């Protein structure tokens, strides 16, 4: 653990607690600032409406020079989150340009194409929240779920709702 990492994490934690993100909570795990218990309450227009999804954000000892890792603890029927709780890191393709506004695209490029020390944890958490609330069949971690979302959206939505009731409420 470096003092640079600890100072940066303390500052980022303060910034997030001073300016909280809607429907998202964070808390250091057992007073360890390098591991955060986080939860996202899905938005009302999300397939996961009413669910609260827990995940762990782990910060490496050489943060911010190395990216944090994320593992969901709550099971979720999502094309971008696998059964082990890992979240998909999308590879940008040409079709993203037509589906994403410029600001969001800039955030995605910054976070997922190449980690940079200037990226804030608030940005990381916002992107995770956006990905959870807006499942996409592009760049899936779970190809079968992505195919169902693409080919039979009503069945996908019914299954997502069922899993949300079972695991996230």
Domain coverage including residue 157: 3-167
- In percent, how much of the chain has pLDDT > 90? 62
By the 8 A CB rule, do 21 and 12 touch? no
Would you state the structure tokens that stand for residue 146, as one six-digit string? 């992505």
Q: Label residue 30 by pLDDT band (50, 70, 90).
A: confident
Whole-model pTM above 0.75?
A: yes
Residue 114: which CATH number? 3.10.110.10
Of 59, 70, 87, 88, which is the active-site residue? 88
Least confidently predicted of 2-16, 103-117, 136-150: 103-117
Instruction: Give the sheet arrangement for strand 24-29, strand by strand.
Output: 24-29, 32-41, 52-58, 69-72
**Is residue 38 among the annotated active site residues?**
no
Higher local confidence (pLDDT), 77 or 92: 77
pLDDT digits (tens, 9 = 90+) for 103-114: 555 555 444 456
How many folded domains does the chain comprise? 1
């Amino acid at each position: 653990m470096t003092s640079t990492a600890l100072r940066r994490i303390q500052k980022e934690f303060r910034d997030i607690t001073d300016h909280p993100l809607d429907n998202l909570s964070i808390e250091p795990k057992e007073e360890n600032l390098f591991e955060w218990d986080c939860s996202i309450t899905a938005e009302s227009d999300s397939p996961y409406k009413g669910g609260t999804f827990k995940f762990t954000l782990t910060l490496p000892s050489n943060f911010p020079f190395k990216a944090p890792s994320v593992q969901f603890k709550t099971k979720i029927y999502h094309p971008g989150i696998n059964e082990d709780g890992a979240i998909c890191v999308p590879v940008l393709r040409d079709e993203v340009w037509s589906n994403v506004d410029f600001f969001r695209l800039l955030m995605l490029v910054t976070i997922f194409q190449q980690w940079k020390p200037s990226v804030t944890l608030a940005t990381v958490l916002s992107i995770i929240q956006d990905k959870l609330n807006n499942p996409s069949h592009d760049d899936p971690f779970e190809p079968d779920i992505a195919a169902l979302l693409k080919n039979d959206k009503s069945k996908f939505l019914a299954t997502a709702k069922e899993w949300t009731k079972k695991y996230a409420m």
